[in-house]
Structure 1
Amino acid sequence: MNFPKELKYSKTHEWIKMTDDTTALVGLTDYAQKELGDLVFVNLPEEGEEFGVDDVFADVESVKAVSDVLSPLSGKIAEINEELLDEPQLINADPYEAWLVKIDEITAFADFLNSEEYEAFVESLEK
């Protein structure tokens, strides 16, 4: 499994890439996409919508189930990855390139893990 060091991670399996002090890209981790299986549908929010930490901002559907995606940040949706609406399987192919949303005007953060902490967290789940 892949745990890029430049990213931050949430315990709900979202990755966060800060692009500046108040803007970040958010996506699903490698662990999340493997657990979900082959993704067939992604439902993303509208640009301009605002979300708080741990609010459901999207959902993904796999051949196994539909799963909510929780926001690791409080802020406003600046952009969605429209490519995923037609090709949700891009998340399975490369979860760290297939970001879901760009959030800006960030006002609060969840408790993030660095790559080593997240890797240890995932290993504890697999025992």
Structure 2
Amino acid sequence: MKEAKVTIGATNIKTFKYENSFAAKQGDPLKMAVKTQMAVRLNPEAPTTAMVLVKFETSDEEKKIMAMELETVTPVSVSTFVDNLDDVIKKKYFPQIMMAVNEKIRIASTVVGLNIQTPPVTFMYTEDAE
């Protein structure tokens, strides 16, 4: 069985966009649409490294009053070559990365005065994994 040390670097904000027409009245509910996309970009010149990109978008699709877009980048490296590193990251390390991304979303939304609640990250445990 092959072992490799996986290092997940700090998640950084790559881009942040916020638009608000300030046309909403206080107390008016906004129906927000939320989209999240995740991609793992492998580095062919350094096959033991990858970048995890997460794009988070939320907008008021009905009234077009506000929109927020946040892109994050998280570096991941392994100590030795791993086949299908992108799949390994998605299957085993995505929840840990999303915890950091959720914190960036929470901080950025608070700065612009939004109260965006991110869903909790779920981990699975089985006794066979010990």
TM-score (norm 1): 0.29
Instruction: Compare relative contact order (CA 8 Å, sep 6+) and give the higher one, 1 or 2.
Output: 1
TM-score (norm 2): 0.29
Bigger Rg, structure 1 or 2: 2
